[in-house]
Amino acid sequence: MENAAGITIQADPLALLSFLLYLLVIIFIGVFSAKYSSSGLPEFFLAGRKLKEFVVALSAVVSGRSAWLLVGVTGMAFTIGAPAVWAVTGYITAEVFLFIFVGKRLRRYTAKMENLTLPDFFESRFKDESRILRILSVFIILIFMISYVASQFQAGGKAFSTSFGVSETSGILVTAVIVLVYTVLGGFLAVSLTDMIQAFFMIFALLILPVIATIHAGGWEEILTILQNFNPKFLNPFAFSTGGIIGFLGIGLGSPGNPHILVRYMSIADPKALRKSCVIGTVWNTLMAWGAVFIGLVGRAYYLKPEALPGGDPENLFPYLASSHLHPLLLGVITASILAAIMSTADSQLLVASSGIARDIYQKTVAKDKTVPEKRLVSISRITVLSLVIASLVFGVLAKKFVFWLVLFAWGGLGASFGPTLLLSLFWKRTTKAGVITGLVAGTVVTIVWNQVAFLKDFLYELVPAFFVSFLLTFFVSLLTSPPENAESELKSIAAKYKR
**Residues at the contact surface with another protein, assessed by CB under 8 A:** 82-83, 85, 89, 92-93, 96-97, 99-100, 224, 235-238, 272, 275-276, 278-279, 281-283, 286-287, 289-290, 293-294, 496-499
The 10 Å Cβ neighbour count of residue 127 is: 11
In whole angstroms, the minimum distance from the beta carbon of 404 to another protein comes to 23
Residue closer to another protein by CB (options 98, 118) is: 98
64 or 119, CB closer to another protein?
64
The rounded distance, in Å, linking the Cα atoms of 165 and 468 is 45
CB of 105 to another protein, least distance (A): 12
| CA–CA distance, 342 with 157 (Å, rounded to integer) | 10
User: Least distance from C-beta 264 to another protein, angstroms?
Assistant: 16
Region of 52 (left: φ > 0; alpha: ψ -120 to 50; beta: rest) is beta
Measured from the CB atom, is 70 or 96 closer to another protein? 96
Burial class (CB in 10 A: 0-12, 13-18, 19+), 452: exposed
Nearer Cβ to another protein (88/466): 88
Closest to another protein by CB, 100 vs 399, is 100
CB of 424 to another protein, least distance (A): 21
Q: How far is CA 169 from CA 68, 174, 287, 316, 397, in A?
A: 19, 9, 32, 17, 9
Q: How far is the CB of 279 from another protein (least distance, A)?
A: 5
First-to-final CA distance of the chain: 65
Which CB sits closer to another protein, 67 or 288?
A: 288
Q: Which residues contact 241 (CB under 8 A, 6 or more apart)?
A: none
Q: Cα–Cα–Cα angle for 87, 89, 91, nearest 5°?
A: 85
- Pick between residue 220 and residue 362 the one whose CB is nearest to another protein: 220
Least Å distance, CB 224 to another protein, is 7
Closer residue to another protein in complex, CB, 237/483: 237
Shortest distance, CB of residue 132 to another protein, whole angstroms? 35
Q: What does R_g of the chain's alpha carbons equal in angstroms?
A: 22
Of 70 and 289, nearer to another protein (C-beta) is: 289
Nearest distance from residue 496's CB to another protein, in Å? 5
Contact at 8 Å (CB) between 123 and 131? yes
Residue (455 or 498) nearer to another protein, CB:
498
Smallest distance, another protein to C-beta of residue 392, A: 33
Nearer to another protein, 208 or 377 (CB): 208
SS3 of 7, please?
Answer: coil
Contact by Cβ (8 Å): 374, 362: no
The secondary structure of 411-424 as a DSSP string is: HHHHHHHHHHHHHH
CB 192 within 8 A of CB 55: yes
Could you tell me if 40 and 379 are in contact, meaning their C-beta atoms sit under 8 angstroms apart?
A: no
State the minimum distance, in angstroms, from the CB of residue 180 to another protein: 35
Q: Which is nearer to another protein, 266 or 389 (CB)?
A: 266
CB of 437 to another protein, least distance (A): 33
| 210-237 per-residue burial string, b: 16 or more CB within 10 A, e: under 16 | bebbbeebeeeeebeebbeeeeeebbee
CB of 93 to another protein, least distance (A): 6
Question: 268 φ, ψ to 5°?
Answer: -75, 145
What are 8's strand-pairing partners? 2
Q: Pick between residue 246 and residue 287 the one whose CB is nearest to another protein.
A: 287
- Specify whether the CB–CB gap between 132 and 437 falls below 8 A: yes
Cα distance between residue 345 and residue 144, in whole Å = 13
Alpha helices by DSSP H, listed for 165-258, are 168-217, 220-230, 242-250
Compute the distance between CA of residue 432 and CA of residue 105 in angstroms, rounded to an integer. Answer: 18
Separation between Cα atoms, residue 103 and residue 426, nearest integer Å = 10
CB of 480 to another protein, least distance (A): 34
